[in-house]
């Protein structure tokens, strides 16, 4: 494995903890800055807003050599999380979370291009899977560790840990990634030209709907597992670690299969499988063993769908590769927010705690359809 890919994986590991870790330490953070839990929830939204705004900024930085751009983004990871660790009050912490989110989508966008250049022929999707693997490992181990640190010591140390990992990312990029020329300069308008084709929109639809199918259910995994499946709250630590293991496994396997059989075919098949898995999660919700097995499959599909598509967009975003790659992260984050809201509406309207799994079915159908159309229409171009 090339060490440059490891440096990128360290970066996405830091981003994974920064994004998902807040969900496990929100109560501690809210008490620490003297706000209620509802107000504290804006710290999650603030990060997502940073992701959405930071990604398009790449259109102004496209002339910068890729390694230098990655160093800038890694420095922002360090700065945003260090500021969060030192924030004396809620407004300062909210601003810090926004800053920490700015490099998120851009890092993935630039990283996908770097992976495609560093990868051996025919192994591009696997290279991106290594980078995305950092985020899956963050869900498996990093987030539980950050939660434990917050509960045992201080939430400020958890943010400080992310800043330290950001420093390691800086060192890794500096030492392991060679100088890489900027992407070809197509001008401001030229960076958006790729959007005239149907291919990127089908890719974004695959990400948005394919991953939303799982996130509808995953957003409420804690109350489902404790109140419907009747696991204890103490069991949630190993359950979430197993869910993270599913993400790691699905991401790695899908990357290899995508290089061999085609990205659209593999990701479309995973989305189609969720048409069956999500209803199974609903009907098997009271049963412990089936619920755990199905959870592992669903979380595997979650990152199995997203990782290869992060690679594929680079092929279909000529002239706007960085913007195209960052758009995947925008689709991912918006998908997360929308699916969680719709899943919550189903619960609110009395359909039951397990009902978000059923909400995910139409998303899976749309996502699979978009990806199969992509594969059929653009098979000769490498989809």
Structural domain of residue 146, as residue ranges?
Answer: 1-182
Is the per-residue pLDDT at 361 higher than 90?
Answer: yes
Compute the average pLDDT of residues 130-154.
87
The total number of structural domains that make up the chain = 2
On whether both 158 and 210 belong to a single domain, the answer is no
What pLDDT score does 1 carry? Answer: 56
Nearby residues of 276 by Cβ (< 8 Å), 6 or more positions away: none
On whether both 84 and 148 belong to a single domain, the answer is yes
Distance between CA atoms of residues 296 and 291, nearest Å = 9
Query: Tokens 């994004």 map to which residue?
Result: 19
What pLDDT score does 235 carry? Answer: 84
List the structure tokens of 161: 């840990």
What pLDDT score does 38 carry? Answer: 67
The pLDDT tens digits for 103-134 are 998 898 889 889 888 888 778 788 888 898 89
Which pTM does this prediction carry?
Answer: 0.82
The pLDDT tens digits for 166-207 are 999 999 999 999 988 887 777 777 788 888 899 999 999 999
Domain end marker among 182, 213, 237: 182
Domain end marker among 135, 161, 182: 182
Domain end marker among 149, 182, 215: 182
Distance between CA atoms of residues 227 and 222, nearest Å = 8
CB 153 within 8 A of CB 272: no
On whether both 148 and 202 belong to a single domain, the answer is no
The pLDDT tens digits for 53-70 are 887 777 777 788 899 999
On whether both 326 and 379 belong to a single domain, the answer is yes
């Amino acid at each position: 494995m090339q060490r440059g890919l490891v440096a990128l994986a360290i970066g996405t590991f830091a981003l994974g903890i920064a994004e998902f870790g807040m969900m496990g330490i929100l109560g501690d953070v809210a008490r620490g800055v003297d706000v209620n839990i509802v107000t504290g929830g804006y710290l999650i939204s603030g990060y997502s807003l940073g992701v959405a705004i930071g990604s398009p900024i790449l259109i102004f930085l496209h002339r910068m050599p890729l390694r230098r751009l990655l160093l800038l983004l890694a420095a922002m990871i360090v700065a945003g999380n260090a500021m969060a660790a030192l924030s004396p009050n809620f407004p300062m912490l909210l601003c810090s979370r926004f800053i920490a989110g700015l490099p998120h989508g851009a890092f993935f966008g630039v990283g996908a291009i770097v992976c495609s250049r560093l990868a051996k022929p025919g192994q591009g999707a696997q290279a991106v899977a290594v980078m995305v693997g950092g985020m899956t490992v963050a869900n498996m181990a990093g987030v539980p560790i950050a939660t434990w640190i917050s509960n045992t010591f201080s939430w400020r140390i958890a943010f400080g840990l992310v800043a330290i990992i950001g420093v390691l990312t800086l060192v890794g990029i500096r030492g392991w990634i060679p100088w890489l020329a900027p992407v070809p300069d197509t001008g401001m308008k030229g960076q958006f030209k790729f959007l005239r084709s149907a291919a990127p929109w089908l890719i974004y639809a695959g990400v948005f709907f394919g991953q939303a199918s799982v996130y509808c259910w995953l957003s409420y995994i804690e109350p489902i597992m404790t109140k419907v499946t009747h696991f204890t709250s103490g069991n949630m630590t190993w359950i979430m670690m197993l869910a993270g293991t599913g993400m790691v496994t699905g991401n790695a396997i899908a990357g290899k299969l995508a290089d061999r059989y085609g990205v659209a075919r593999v990701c479309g098949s995973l989305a189609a499988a969720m048409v069956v898995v999500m209803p199974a999660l609903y009907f098997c919700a009271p049963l412990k063993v089936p619920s755990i097995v199905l959870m592992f499959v669903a979380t595997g599909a979650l990152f199995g769908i997203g990782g290869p598509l992060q690679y594929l967009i680079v092929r279909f975003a000529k002239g706007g590769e960085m913007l195209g790659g960052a758009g995947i992260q925008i689709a991912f984050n918006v998908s997360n927010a929308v699916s969680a809201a719709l899943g919550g509406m189903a619960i609110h309207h009395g359909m039951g705690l397990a009902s978000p799994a059923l909400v995910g079915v139409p998303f899976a159908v749309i996502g699979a359809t978009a990806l199969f159309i992509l594969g059929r229409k653009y098979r000769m171009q490498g989809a």
